[in-house]
Structure 1
């Protein structure tokens, strides 16, 4: 009898020990799985952008997509459609809002037609240096813009610094606003068009991929863009003169459809937001370097570069006053608030 009792007690102890080991093993597996990216729900995110693939924003976005996919062990699959493969820059915002695509990277200028306050980045001479932009978008200024975007159905995940915007043309050096008279200049949006008109030229709106041919065929005499895109789109082959006046600081937004975002698990949202924040910092660090490097490269390729002297900027700013008035007219109290915030910087 004692023998059987001993066997039963031994068996019970063995079962308890095995159970404890099993539970401990499961816990270890759960920790290990979490470390490897398991625990994410499978989802596919299509991300479209229209910039050249070697642009610093594009490089950052490609890394963002790769990092999200790898950190989730492939469960959150970010599929990138670069350089207008899926959507043109003129079409992607509406596609995002309608749910045709989950994520896009597009300019604040093009978003201004949907969220007028986004035109703040096109108001001439608002941002005087690179650091001022980063400070602004990570403060109440940026929060107001994010809120306005969400009201329309898009959540901003990242402000991607494109850099300053300049003018290129193939007719003559642009050394003062008066030199614009009679020219046809490619515009990138409503407020840049107002500036081009204020300087005496005629704006012609077109997407980035159309500009080279338009310049080559004299459909337009010049264009406004950043020197990074000018270099990558080979403006040096179809324009002769570059004017550096840093009239606007262009932002690109990584945005996601709000309804789609709200349906994602919190763990997935946290991963995407954390990775976007890291990428935003990296892109901002590149903007100033790339502006300087690309302007120098365009000059080396034969473009005649004119840098507007600091003492002459007052004339350019005064001639641009109608653009500031147009912005506040279309954006009301929010636009005035944003301008007041930047004026204090």
Structure 2
């Protein structure tokens, strides 16, 4: 697997290669020829290696390495971290158009373009990793998969992450603490909950949180445990509300592939991508949970005060979420109404 953020992005060259793959029966089976299929993966998170750094970057690299190994080098995956291939909020649209092969992306970032994707960060809807991962085979996951496919995107690896709050001023634990704070929630739905609690909300990707908190433009940011670590927010925060064990904030951050690109690949390549992608889910779960444990230690070491969520506080957040975000989402369209009904039926 090669990784080169400086290599120019060439859709024409890639499609030329893919066209050759489809046209030549001799290379439909791995090892029959050496015309490599190149897949480029974009993500917004810090880069590292296969063994060190943000686990979402490592997941992409492991995925690529395994594809290269099992295809005898016929599949070459190039990982572009830190939004080095394209801007963060452009990724989903590029996937839909076939202008980007793959991306590991917080799915709710596409909410402005595809309202149904905001189900991937619906406050208090998912309360555990077990519940989130159950979506894949449950009716809600099947329906969501169909909706995404109709929009031109396929999920290869389901990744859920619990989140917490880093605050530069006062701690943000219960809804009452949000009053008067400028908070980044991560989705339209989370913003509705925060507004109902009395906060002013900011819409920006997690990789821009550090600068916003450093300048005072943002008082508190809610994001995944991994991002709380990877983006070094402990350097600008005095308080952390950790999501370990319990949280009202669970985000779906899947590894996705463009359906247009996927459909143009030989069947053996398609099958291998889906197989390896599914195998990566165990790694994603293990690492997400490990970061839930690690984040508190990172912030405590930096001198921040750490708080945890109790059941009564979670109930307060859920009451607000049902009355605001859930209702607003369900009213968007028939798909949204169906999705949230199905999601609410998945056991916690």
TM range (shorter): 0.7 to 0.9
Aligned length: 312
1:125 partnered with 2:119: no
State the shift of 1:160 in Å.
1.7
Aligned to 2:230: 232
In structure 2, what is the equivalent of residue 326 of structure 1?
Answer: 328
Q: Identify unmatched segments of 5+ residues in structure 2.
A: 1-26, 48-52
1:290-309 paired onto structure 2 within 5 Å: 290-309=291-310
* Shift in CA distance, 338/181, structure 1 to aligned 2, threshold 3 Å: closer
Partner residue in 2 for 1:13: none
Structure 1 residue runs without a partner (length 5+): 1-32
Cα offset, 1:344, TM superposition: 4.6
**Cα RMSD over matched residues?**
2.2
Deviation, 1:295, is 2.4
What's the secondary structure of 2:249's corresponding residue? Answer: strand
> What does 1:129-278 correspond to in 2, within 5 Å?
129-161=128-160, 163-244=161-242, 246-278=247-279
Distance (Å, rounded) in 1 between the aligned partners of 2:284 and 2:34: 27
Q: Which residue of 2 aligns with 1:43?
A: 37
Match for residue 335 of structure 1 among 329, 337, 341 = 337
Q: Secondary structure in 1 aligned to 2:218?
A: coil
Structure with higher helix content:
1
Residue 93 of structure 1 and its aligned partner are, at CA, apart by 1.1
Query: Which protein shows a greater Rg?
Result: 1
The residue matched to 1:214 in structure 2 has which SS?
Answer: helix
The alignment status of 1:84 with 2:83, answered yes or no, reads yes
Displacement of 1:232 in angstroms is: 1.5
**CA, structure 1 residues 190+341, in 2 after alignment: closer, same or farther (shift >3 Å)?**
closer
| TM-superposition CA deviations, 1:233-253 (whole Å, max 9, x none) | 111111111123611211112
Please give the per-residue CA displacement for 1:56-85, whole angstroms capped at 9, x wherever unaligned.
Answer: 222111100111122222222111111211
Q: CA deviation at 1:128?
A: 2.2
Q: Secondary structure at the match of 1:256?
A: strand
Contact 1:46 / 1:102 at 8 angstroms: preserved in 2?
Answer: yes
2:6 aligned residue: none
Structure 1: distance between partners of 2:30 and 2:74: 11
Q: Is the 8 A contact 2:131 2:346 kept in 1?
A: no
More strand by share: 1
CA distance in 1 between counterparts of 2:35 and 2:256 reads 21
Q: What's the TM-score once normalised by structure 2's chain length? A: 0.83
Instruction: Name the CA distance, whole Å, in 2 between partners of 1:285 and 1:331.
Output: 35
Q: Secondary structure at the match of 1:247?
A: coil
User: So what's the TM-score if we normalise by structure 1?
Assistant: 0.84
Q: Is the 8 A contact 1:227 1:295 kept in 2?
A: no
Distance 1:330 1:118 in 2: 12
Q: Distance in 2 between matches of 1:38 and 1:141?
A: 40
Q: 1:239 to 1:328 in 2, by over 3 A?
A: same
Could you tell me which residue of structure 2 aligns to residue 17 of structure 1? none
How far does the alpha carbon of each residue in 1:233-281 deviate from its partner, in whole angstroms, 9 at most, with x for none?
1111111111236112111122222122111110111111111111122
Q: Structure 1 residues 150, 274: closer, same or farther in 2, change over 3 A?
A: same
**Native 8 Å contact 1:188 1:207 kept in 2:** yes
